[in-house]
Amino acid sequence: MTLGRHNYFVWSILLVLGLSSTCNAVPNSNGRRAPLALQKNVVSKVSKIVGGYPASVGELPWQVALYGEYVCGGTLLSSDVVLTAAHCVIAGGQLITGFKVGYGGLSLLNLPFETDHKQVIPHPHYNEYTMDNDIALVILASPVKQFTNLVLPANLPYNSSEEYEGEEVTASGWGTLYSDSDSLNSKTSRTIEDGCEAECVACVRDRDISCSDTFKYPLKRDACGDSGGPLVKIIGDYSVIVGVTSWGNGCAAQGYPGVYTRVTESV
């Protein structure tokens, strides 16, 4: 376990996962929940997946959506804990509270399960300017009643020293396949590879941020969006959440790879 400046967030993860309950039902929403306008400087840093493919039913059961006046992705960690990006829940130094969490389906406009949140826990050292420590937890007001092939949590990395460099991982969210599309009703994903240290340094050269805290991925395949969404290593039926969609310059733009917060820095 990593000690030092990440202690508070580490213990928050352990505590909320330890207190998670599976006895309460999640309200079923039959209505069409369309997101409102995206808030600039909150989630518009990245807005859609490019170079991906439509996900199939049950392929990404850990994927959740945070929506209200903005749209973000997230990863289910337990029956009532969601992992997302800090910039999805903080704006101007203030917590964003007016959002709901939906999950269990492919269409953002008609997710079968929806709940409010009862607590938001951003990383205590999140920096809105540099995007350092861009990671947060959201505690659901109504926990998942039962895990199925459509709703299933991803696993945290077993070992905080895991690097995942050069391994194939999958990013997902309700973005689109093309950078000029505004569709938000299709979840997409694709396999990507982590980048090398030199490329990371070039990518974050104008920011006060540690490359050890981040991942980057190749050009022409970008989670240009879906901030807060998962970057997952899938091994058979076992999934490990290794990154959180954080930021990028443009959308699959030449010379500007997307950046993910490295989960192992906080567990």
Q: Which domains does the chain have, with CATH numbers?
A: 7-46+60-140 (2.40.10.10), 168-266 (2.40.10.10)
- Residue percentage of the chain with pLDDT more than 90: 26
Model pLDDT for residues 58-113, shown as the tens digit of each residue? 888 999 999 887 788 999 999 999 999 999 999 888 998 889 999 998 888 888 99
Q: Residue type for 32, please?
A: R
Mean pLDDT of 181-195: 41
The model's pLDDT over 117-158, given as tens digits with 9 standing for 90+, comes to: 999 999 999 988 888 889 999 999 999 999 999 999 999 988
pLDDT at 248: 59
Among residues 158, 135, 164, 153, the alpha carbon closest in space to that of 266 is found at 135
- Structure confidence at residue 9 as a pLDDT band (50, 70, 90): low
Tell me the CB-side half-sphere exposure of residue 121, using CA atoms within 13 A.
21
Q: Which residue type, as a one-letter code, is found at position 68?
A: G
Q: Which residues does the annotation mark as catalytic?
A: 87, 134, 227
Predicted TM-score (pTM) of the model is: 0.72
